[in-house]
Chain A
Amino acid sequence: MTAPAPVLPARRRRGVVLLCGLVVALLAAATLSAVSGQTPVTAAEVLGAVLHRLGIDAGPLPAHPQGEATLWVARFPRIVLGLLVGAALGCAGALMQGVFGNPLAEPGVIGISSGAAVGACLVIVLPGSVLGATGSLAVAGAAFVGGLVTTAVVYALARANGRTEVVTLVLTGVAVNAFAAGVLAFLVYVADPSAREQIVFWQLGSLNGATWRSVGIVAPMVVAGLVGSWLLARRLDLLSLGERAARHVGLDVERLRQVAIVLVALLTSAGVAFTGIIAFVGLVVPHVVRMVAGPGHRVLLPASALGGALVLVVADLVARTAVAHAELPLGMLTSLVGGPFFFWLLRRTRASQGGWA
């Protein structure tokens, strides 16, 4: 009766501290990102600009003549899209890992991002596709369909006897990514020059070109995905017992699986539709969260969403300020950090499982 008492609060407390810390860091990073750039704006002016829009006459407005416009047209939509995409990718990673019962599952690694990218590019390339009023909605929709099909295919291929072996999963990802890369190459080949440029730029992954319109499309997808995932949290905990044992404690595994696949596709396509493939966020972030607050999904899912948002806002800040008058591709940055991390995780997993189980 007495022994469990001291343990439980320790992890729970760390989870609460982590969530609060992430929110604070996120606000700080977003503010830092808003004041960084060629047009000088101070943090107080950023706050003032936001408050004025909300109808509160407090704080100074940007002093620079272009300040207000820069914030609302360029920086804010970019930051908000970064938050949404990062949250989507972080949460999608944690959700996938829970469903596959495998810490190496991640939308980019497994090829779901590529699948969604193929869907999106198909729409970009389609003759007569004008990326105007309905165009961006069509891109998001096609990304979702592509992501959903790929998730279902990977799930069917990578599982055997109710388990997903590491090596099967990674190799399935290799195959899916290779196939998707082939389709994308074909699309680049047949595309007209403007669409070609769009695809190539987009494949590198970037928040450049974020608009309130894209935010408006991505936001509901991400919110639905995050809320839906969180509702599955307890069931995902049970699933870590393995499918059979999870069923023995009353979990409807098939149902959980179907819902989770749709949510993964929704979140991944939201993360891909306007920003291209930004890999490894969903791998690194949940892993770090697990090390801090344990594997319980009620903390893991929201913390991974917040952490993913933080990583993406910071990475985007680096991408657009590291080199003067130039912008680095965001996907390149996350891959440069995430690739070695994935390798390290792979080796560790191999060691702990005593071979390529």
Chain B
Amino acid sequence: MTPGAAPAAGARGTRSAGARSAGGAVARGLRRRARLPLRADAGTVLAAARGVDLARGGVQVLHDVSVEVRAGEVRALIGPNGAGKSSLLGVLTGDLEPTRGTVEAAGAPLAAWSTTELALRRAVMTQDVTLSFPFLVHEVVAMGRAPWRGTAAADDDDAVVAASMAATDVTHLAGRAFPTLSGGERARVALARVLAQRAQLLMLDEPTAALDLHHQEMVLALARDHARAGGAVVVVVHDVGLAAAYADRVTIVADGRVAGDGTPEEILTAARLSAVYEHPVEVLPHPRGGAPIILPRR
């Protein structure tokens, strides 16, 4: 039996998880073997922030924010510049320590997991993708396999790397040095690395920012497919239209607070978007299918 099958413990599992975290530091010091992830069923909460406040540089950027990401869904975080979307994602990944509130990953507090255990459960794509040394593209993608080292899954490394590169359309770049790539190519290589991690939860911070129209659609289609296959995705996007088309749930972050949480049809209303972005916005149903089309009034 795999110990620490945390997702099944759910939110009520915090007590045992807390006990584990007390001994966590010691256990990590002794380099205990990483607990391998069990695949959580659709609907299970894979990441959650509850009542989170966050201060950065003396400025409070998040106020009492709560968000959940469930297996089987794509959750988009949208909102104006500086609203706190990336900060919220940083809190969920554990990069930023909230001043108040709790953060969970795979059903247990973040502190209950070692860095390797977290990496087996969630993969993160950050906004700025840089590399200190000129590794080749396929070497960079293979770095996503690092957490699986020493496990049975490591046997599939080559196949997973090849599949991840194919999925993000970077196979032809495999032998190029990463620093020689354009911004859009780098972003796709970074995404390939994230996919190669084969984590159930993907956390993507503006993965489409540097991409052309075709690759934007490709990335969000990948996210949707990942969710359809039982995974979960939380993605920060600027393009409300993309969020409307691909997300199952949308969280609108404005001024460090949650200004809306629901399905795109429920919350992407002209009134709410106009207020949040401080710009008049029209929302029209698509003539075929009725999906919302978001148009800033020009």
User: Which of A84-92, A177-185, A247-255 touches B?
Assistant: A247-255
Q: Chain A interface: which of B12-20, B140-148, B229-237, B263-271? A: B140-148
Q: Which of B28, B118, B140, B162 contacts A250 (CB 8 A)?
A: B118
Across-interface contacts of B135 in A (CB, < 8 A): 237, 240, 294-296
Stretch at the interface among B40-48, B170-178, B238-246: B170-178
The contact of B130 among A1, A242, A251, by CB within 8 Å, is A242
Residues of A within 8 A of B139 (CB): 237, 294, 296
- A247: nearest residue on chain B (CB-CB)? B115
Report the minimal beta-carbon distance from A337 to chain B, rounded to whole angstroms: 23
Does A238 reach chain B (CB closer than 8 Å)? Answer: yes
Bound together, the chains give a CA A273 to CA B204 distance in angstroms of 49
Q: Is the CB of B144 within 8 A of A249?
A: yes
**Interface membership of A129, Cβ < 8 A:** no
Most buried by A among B117, B147, B163: B147
User: Contacts A6-B175, A249-B197, A252-B115 given: A238-B133 contact, CB under 8 Å?
Assistant: no
Chain B residues contacting A241 (CB-CB under 8 Å) are 131, 140, 143
Q: Are A245 and B119 in contact (CB under 8 A)?
A: no
Q: Are B159 and A290 in contact (CB under 8 A)?
A: no
B182 part of interface (Cβ distance < 8 Å): no
Q: Would you call A156 an interface residue if the criterion is a C-beta within 8 Å of the partner chain's C-beta atoms?
A: no
Smallest CB separation, A233 vs chain B (Å): 12
Flag if B133 contacts A290 (CB, 8 Å): yes
Q: Which residues of A contact B147 (CB under 8 A)?
A: 249-250
Cβ of B77 within 8 Å of any chain A Cβ, yes or no, is no
A3 within 8 Å of B (CB atoms): yes
Give which listed residue, B118, B120, B162, contacts A4 with CB less than 8 A: B162
Would you call A7 an interface residue if the criterion is a C-beta within 8 Å of the partner chain's C-beta atoms?
yes
Docked Cα-Cα span, A244 to B86, in Å, equals: 14
Cβ of A257 < 8 Å from any Cβ of B? Answer: no
Is the C-beta of A102 less than 8 angstroms from some C-beta in chain B?
A: yes
User: Main SS of chain A's interface residues?
Assistant: helix
Chain B's nearest CB lies how many Å from the CB of A327? 38
Q: In the complex, A352 Cα to B133 Cα: how many Å?
A: 12
A225 at the interface (CB under 8 A from B): no
A256 smallest CB distance to B (angstroms)? 11
A8 within 8 A of B: yes
Nearest neighbor of B138 in chain A, beta-carbon distance: A4
Given contacts A234-B146, A247-B115, is CB(A240)–CB(B175) below 8 Å? no
Tell me if B131 and A240 are in contact (CB < 8 A).
yes
Which residue among A3, A239, A352 has the maximum number of chain B CB atoms within 10 Å of its CB? A3
Quick check: is A196 within 8 A (CB to CB) of the other chain? Answer: no
Which residues on B sit within 8 Å (CB–CB) of A239? 132
At the interface, yes or no: A101 with Cβ under 8 Å from chain B? yes
Q: Are B134 and A294 in contact (CB under 8 A)?
A: yes
Cβ contacts B118-130/A at 8 Å (1 or 0 each):
1110011010011
A151-B39 Cα distance, complex, nearest whole Å: 44
Chain B: minimal CB distance from A259 (Å): 12
Interface size class of B (residues with CB under 8 A): 35 or more
Among B132, B140, B163, B174, which residue has the most Cβ atoms of chain A within 10 A?
A: B132
Cβ of B220 under 8 Å from chain A: no
**Contact of B95 (CB < 8 Å), options: A101, A244, A296:** A244
CB-CB contacts of A238-282 with B at 8 A, as 1s and 0s?
111110110111111100000000000000000000000000000
Q: Contact: B162 with A248, CB < 8 Å?
A: no
Tell me the minimal C-beta distance from A260 to chain B in angstroms: 14
Q: Measured between alpha carbons, how far is A95 from B249 in the docked complex, in Å?
A: 46
> Which residues in chain A, 23-37, are within 8 Å of chain B measured between CB atoms?
none
Q: Is the CB of A238 within 8 A of B138?
A: no
Q: Contacts A4-B165, A234-B146, A249-B143; is A101 near B132 (CB within 8 Å)?
A: yes
List chain B residues, Cβ under 8 A from A173. none
When the two chains form their complex, are residues A237 and B115 in contact, meaning their CB atoms are under 8 A apart?
A: no
Contacts of B193 in A (CB 8 A): 249
Cα A251 to Cα B124 in complex, Å, equals 13
Q: Give the distance in Å from the alpha carbon of A103 to the alpha carbon of B179 in the complex.
A: 14
| C-alpha gap A279/B172 in the complex (Å) | 42
- On whether the beta carbons of B144 and A242 are closer than 8 Å, the reply is no
Instruction: Look across to chain B and name the residue whose beta carbon is closest to the beta carbon of A162.
Output: B95
B161 with A4: CB separation less than 8 A: yes
Query: Complex formed: what's the CA distance from A244 to B190 in Å?
Result: 13
Within the assembled complex, what's the spacing in Å between the Cα atoms of A4 and B149? 20
Residues from chain A with Cβ under 8 Å of B115 in the complex: 247, 250-253
Are A249's CB and B146's CB within 8 A? yes
When A241-B131, A247-B115 are in contact, do A7 and B172 touch as well, CB less than 8 Å? no
| B93 part of interface (Cβ distance < 8 Å) | yes
B274 at the interface (CB under 8 A from A): no
Decide: B174 and A4 in contact? CB cutoff 8 A: yes
B27 to chain A, nearest CB (A): 13
Task: Kindly state the separation between the CA atoms of A245 and B130 in the bound complex, as whole angstroms.
Answer: 10
Task: State A352–B131 Cα separation when bound (angstroms).
Answer: 13
Nearest residue (CB) in A for B142 is A4
List 20 interface pairs A-B (beta carbons < 8 Å), by A numbering: A3-B138, A4-B138, A4-B162, A4-B175, A6-B175, A7-B138, A7-B174, A10-B175, A103-B132, A237-B135, A241-B143, A242-B132, A244-B126, A248-B119, A248-B123, A249-B119, A249-B146, A250-B114, A252-B114, A294-B139
Top 5 closest pairs, chain A to chain B, by CB:
A250-B119, A295-B133, A7-B175, A101-B132, A250-B147
The chain A residues found within 8 Å of chain B, CB to CB, are 1, 3-4, 6-8, 10-11, 98, 101-103, 234, 237-242, 244-245, 247-253, 290, 294-296, 352
Other contacts beyond A241-B143, A296-B135: 16, CB < 8 A: A1-B163, A4-B165, A4-B175, A7-B138, A234-B146, A237-B139, A240-B135, A245-B129, A248-B123, A250-B34, A250-B114, A250-B118, A250-B119, A251-B146, A294-B134, A295-B135
